[in-house]
Structure 1
Amino acid sequence: MLHKEHQQRLYPSERHKSTRTKNIILAARLFSMLFAPFYLPLVGLIALFLFSYLSLLPLFYKIFVLSLVCVFTILIPTLLIRLYRHYQGWTLIELGHKERRMVPYVISIMCYLMCVYIMERLHIPHFMGSIITAALMIQIVCAIINAWWKISTHTAAIGGMAGALFSFGEIFGFNPVWWMCLVFLLAGLLGTSRMILRQHSLAQVVGGFCIGMVCSALTILFV
């Protein structure tokens, strides 16, 4: 009887703990989806259109560029990777294994290359194309590193945003400190989400952020 009463006292606490854990995991998944690597080049371009002299461009032209980037950096890679995953019969977690990530990397790199090529052919201003080129370089470096070590492309992408902010601050002469603080905060939340989901270690999320930031800054400033 005492044992049963003890269990009854524990069960509400255990259920509360289980619900809290599920909510944390759900929040981590939503945050990972919201800041998926494919979305960040588009976000970078939107910020460029809002906060630089490129805001003076005609609205139709900005929508055209954003649509082009959306198709080649989000829609096509997502569709092809999803088809590849379904063909293999893998879940998203299974696709995240280091040895299975190379084909998605190759798909992304080819799509980004095509986007850069089309933007060059259409003579789209360099600052717009540099964001996609920076994202492409991050993808290539991460793909090379992934052959030996599973690095976080999520934090590499948001690290690329930090590098782009620093670079455009230098180019356009504005102080990006507050924006950098926001990006660092988001990067911390994103890295924590990836660790909660057991997709990466602390070293992998920090390494991804540093690689993304360096690749983006160097590409935008010197390429």
Structure 2
Amino acid sequence: MLKKIASIISTILHPLLMPTIGILVIFSTESHITFIPFEFRRLVTIIVFVSTCILPLSAIPIFLQTGIIKSIHMETPRERILPLLTTGFFFILGYYFLKKFQLPAFIPLFFLGTLVAVIISMCISFFWKISIHMIGVGGLFGALISMTLKYGVDTNIWIMVTIAISGLLGSSRLGANAHSPAQVYSGFFLGCGTICSIVMI
């Protein structure tokens, strides 16, 4: 029963959904750094969703059919390398399209940070199985912290919500025996640190 609940939580908070969730949370702050017309917000959200979720997911059946991955869970670190490389390519594509618009600097920087986190996690996957779920939620936490520290945006409520979600997601990954505590914590801090480093420069 607990494993089933953990699986549901991991699916809802899947790392491929986190950039889209992140951009929606960022827009919800209604701050000066995200002040763009609704039509642009919708377009940005669509670009993020397609490039970070739809396109990477569309490649999974090919990886399964060719035997590159044994299951959608990609239980071994090596299975993750090519999917992460492909995901990184689609992220680059999304970043390219975002740069075509005159957006507040924070938005493309947030997206660039997620791209860097994907590349780092791919490199780590050559020798270790870091939690990509926690990288995703850690990245969102890092974005909120950066908005507060660099731009003075009040994100306290979202920060508290993200901390609660991070604890829930981390517990679910441990409950599903998908990761060790070290892999969970390192994933969170990698995501948070990467976004903060990119945005705070």
User: Does residue 197 of structure 1 match 2:176?
Assistant: yes
What is the TM-score normalised by the length of structure 2? 0.92
* The one of 32, 53, 58 aligned to 2:37: 58
Partner deviation per Cα, 1:96-120 (whole Å, 9 max, x = no partner):
2112110111011101111111211
Aligned residues: 199
Match of 2:124 in 1: 145
In structure 2, the gaps of 5 or more residues are none
CA shift at 1:145, angstroms?
A: 1.4
Partner deviation per Cα, 1:38-85 (whole Å, 9 max, x = no partner):
111111211222212366422222111111111101100011123212
- Structure 2 counterpart SS, 1:77: helix
Matches within 5 A, 1:60-75: 60-75=39-54
* The one of 140, 146, 152 aligned to 1:167: 146
**Contact 1:156/1:210, CA 8 A, preserved across alignment:** yes
Max Rg structure? 1
**Contact 2:33/2:106, CA 8 A, preserved across alignment:** no
| C-alpha distance in 2 between matches for 1:146 and 1:91 | 16
| C-alpha distance in 1 between matches for 2:9 and 2:188 | 16
Q: Which amino acid aligns with 2:72?
A: L
User: Does residue 90 of structure 1 match 2:74?
Assistant: no
| C-alpha distance in 2 between matches for 1:102 and 1:120 | 27
Matches within 5 A, 1:23-34: 23-34=1-12
- Structure 1 counterpart SS, 2:127: coil
Structure 1 ranges of 4+ moved more than 4 A: none
Q: Higher helix fraction: Structure 1 or Structure 2?
A: 1
Match of 1:109 in 2: 88
User: Does residue 135 of structure 1 match 2:114?
Assistant: yes
**Contact 2:131/2:183, CA 8 A, preserved across alignment:** yes
Match of 2:19 in 1: 41
| C-alpha distance in 2 between matches for 1:59 and 1:180 | 24
User: Does residue 80 of structure 1 match 2:59?
Assistant: yes
- Structure 1 counterpart SS, 2:16: helix
- Structure 1 counterpart SS, 2:99: helix
CA shift at 1:172, angstroms?
A: 2.6
In structure 1, the gaps of 5 or more residues are 1-22
Q: Which amino acid aligns with 2:43?
A: F
Partner deviation per Cα, 1:132-187 (whole Å, 9 max, x = no partner):
11111111111111212110010011011111111001233134344322212211
| C-alpha distance in 1 between matches for 2:194 and 2:32 | 24
The RMSD of aligned alpha carbons is 1.7
What is the TM-score normalised by the length of structure 1? 0.83
- Structure 2 counterpart SS, 1:96: coil
- Structure 2 counterpart SS, 1:151: coil
**Contact 2:34/2:107, CA 8 A, preserved across alignment:** no
**Contact 1:48/1:54, CA 8 A, preserved across alignment:** no
Higher relative contact order (CA 8 A, sep 6+): 2
| C-alpha distance in 1 between matches for 2:154 and 2:104 | 23
